[in-house]
Structure 1
Amino acid sequence: MVVATDDNASAARGQKPHFVPKSGSRLYTRVFLYAIAGILIVALALGLGLGFGLKHDECPPTTSPLPSSTPSAVWKPAVGSSWQIILSQKVEIDSNNPIVRPDVDVFDIDLFVHQNSSVIASLHKLGKKVICYFSAGSYEPYRPDSSRFLKSDLGAQMDGWPDERWLNLRSTSVREVMVSRISLARDMGCDAIDPDNVDGYENDNGLDLTREDSIDFVAFLAGKAKEKKLAIGLKNANDIVTDVLDAVQFSVNEQCAEYSACESFAPFIEAGKPVFHIEYPSGAPEKIATADSKSACSAKGASRFSTVLKSENLDSWVEYCDGRTVKTDVVS
């Protein structure tokens, strides 16, 4: 409780009235004395917090509110936001000469690779927003929390990723791990999360995962992200775009141009939400044919997407549709 100062209390009470009794009149003298006594009683009552309906547990209003600890609102990225994504390397920013290349709006980086580092704070100082990546639908044995998954949580091996296995999105223990990861993202200062591999239903997952399981899982993740004041994106899963569009703030899409599926993500643009679009043309990095670049950047339905051309290991190299190529500084 903030207690008013004497000056504030006096201002609230106002000035005392000034009485001038008629000379030689006992009646007026008595009235004057009574009036003075009454004023003193009222003043004392106000000083004790008893007058004019003021209760013991109330405080007079203050001129400025107390500081609020409420987190800021969920970030809403704009359509057309420029970006860079690096998942296989750790971004390096010199605190003595803070600069980052490319000079884009958003960086999508790996959650665990950047744990216990100052990179996110440095990016924020440079005016950048940060999306933190983690796999929400696959088991990766090299992650620090991988031992928390139960054997029954693990499904079939992921095609092309022999160390990874699909996760049971219905599992309570899987969801508990994801809540911890979302909390970690909040504690690290991430602005958003990029939960990957939520589309197990489209693959031979060994767990009988369905489209409805993915919709429910994304809704669950979105609810937890909202609690932590984090934005969340839908990774791929074009079949469920319209089912989860209201729950997420953006899309991260891989290879919609290659598979002629970019129009599936048009509802994001129509809703004023960006599509962060990645293509992996042959020859990347640095030897991409002009025709391949043009095909990736001019795909039907992708004209307003935030498109980047990357190598499949998602390292520091990136090419943009204007032909610019950049390498972000990373820890060697």
Structure 2
Amino acid sequence: MKRPVLLAALLLLLAGCSTATEEHKESGRARWQPRPGVAWQWQLSGRLDTSVDVPVYDIDGFDHEKAAVTALHRKGRKVICYLSTGAWEEFRPDAKRFPKSVLGRGNGWQGERWLDIRRTDVLEPLMADRLDMCRRKGFDAVEPDNMDGYRNNTGFPLKAADQLRYNRLVARLAHERGMAVGLKNDLGQIPVLVGDFDFAVDEQCAQYDECERLKPFIAAGKAVFHVEYELPTSRFCAEARRLKLSSMLKKYDLDAWRRPC
């Protein structure tokens, strides 16, 4: 009499494991994929304004707690975690964990210095911890900033291959945590990185006549979140709509103000 009961219990246990496996597979497939043309808000300074009626918010991962992400989720928003992965910022709580050997020249913003992205032995665990923070807070995606150091005067002899390796590392770390990830401004490597990233974030492609270079993301059904700072909307919105970019005019300090296309 006991054997059938034990057998039934075993079958139920195996079924449960199978269900859990299927749910894990489903969650892997369910990673958020923003589509071309979706409206967004990008706010990295000032008091967070959650009243903008758009499906996507991009906010600072360090500056906001889980409650802010949850509040945006309750309004039906997807939320992107802004992080600098290619530059060191002296004002972040983990700044002292970065050894001086990986800190390069300033990147033009006060208190920020380029990182030696060749040193993945040092940077991978640091970035993994940052992405763990984004995941714990409930973010749907990550916007890793300063992803084009090889094109800048960083103080290190960075090559395109170094950047590709590092950018793919960041993408992998985000995906392993179930989050989507965006490629930031690295236009020259879009053809080989579009498959590794779920969307793009671009600044001033219209001003520098570069928006066409973002077309591989659109062709792949992936959003391009785009801002201009110096051009009026009359100078870039028509092209943005033609290319299906998610475009708006913002101020350099990226406060709540926006003027979308």
TM-score (norm 1): 0.71
Looking at structure 1, the residues matched to 224 and 138 of structure 2 have their Cα atoms a distance apart, in angstroms, of 22
CA distance in 2, matches of 1:173, 1:224: 14
Instruction: Return the offset for 1:161.
Output: 1.3
- Paired residue secondary structure (1:317): coil
What displacement does 1:56 show?
Answer: 6.0
Q: Counterpart in 2 of 1:315?
A: 255
1:8-157 correspondence runs (5 A): 47-49=1-3, 58-61=9-12, 65=16, 68=20, 70=24, 72=27, 73-91=30-48, 100-115=50-65, 117-157=66-106
* Residue of 195, 200, 210 corresponding to 1:261: 210
Query: Counterpart in 2 of 1:295?
Result: 235
* Residue in structure 2 matching 1:304, options 238, 244, 255: 244
- Cα distance in 2, alignment partners of residues 114 and 302 from structure 1: 35
Contact 2:240 2:246 in 1 (8 A): no
5+ residue gaps, structure 2, are: none
**Residue 192 of structure 1 pairs with residue 141 of structure 2:** yes
Tell me, in whole angstroms, the C-alpha distance in 1 between the residues paired with 2:196 and 2:71.
29
Distance (whole Å) between structure 1 residues aligned to residue 256 and residue 234 of structure 2: 21
- Contact kept in structure 1, 2:233 and 2:248, CA below 8 Å: no
Match of 1:272 in 2: 221
**Secondary structure of 2:212 counterpart:** helix
Q: Return the alpha-carbon distance in structure 2 between the equivalents of residues 139 and 85 of structure 1.
A: 21
**1:260 counterpart letter in structure 2:** D
Q: How many residues align?
A: 253
Larger RCO (CA under 8 A, 6+ residues apart): 2
Is 1:162–2:110 an aligned residue pair? yes
- Name the TM-score, length of structure 2 as normaliser: 0.90
Aligned to 1:244: 193
- Larger displacement relative to structure 2 (68-77 or 241-250): 68-77
> Aligned partners of 2:11, 2:250: CA distance in 1, in Å?
61
CA distance in 2 between partners of 1:169 and 1:61 (Å): 49
Shift of 1:302: 5.7
Secondary structure of 2:164's counterpart equals helix
**Could you say if the C-alpha distance between residues 221 and 253 of structure 1 is closer, same or farther in structure 2, counting changes exceeding 3 Å?**
same
- Counterpart of 2:118, as a letter, is R
1:201 aligns with 2:150: yes
Across the aligned residues of Structure 1 and Structure 2, the Cα RMSD in angstroms comes to 2.2
In the alignment, structure 1 segments of 5+ residues that lack a partner are: 1-46, 93-99, 283-291, 322-332
How far is 1:257 from its partner?
A: 0.2
Structure with greater helix percent: 2
With over 3 angstroms needed to count, the CA separation of the structure-2 counterparts of 1:280 and 1:61, relative to structure 1, is same
Q: What is the percent sequence identity of the aligned residues?
A: 38
Letter in 2 for 1:103: D
Largest Rg, 1 or 2: 1
1:22-48 CA-partner distances (Å, limit 9, x unpaired)? xxxxxxxxxxxxxxxxxxxxxxxxx21
Per the alignment, do residues 106 and 157 of structure 1 end up closer, same or farther by CA in structure 2, a change over 3 Å counting? same
Residues 10-30 of structure 1 show CA distances to partners (whole Å, capped at 9, x for unaligned) of xxxxxxxxxxxxxxxxxxxxx
Report the Cα distance in structure 2 between the residues aligned to 1:302 and 1:190, rounded to whole angstroms.
30
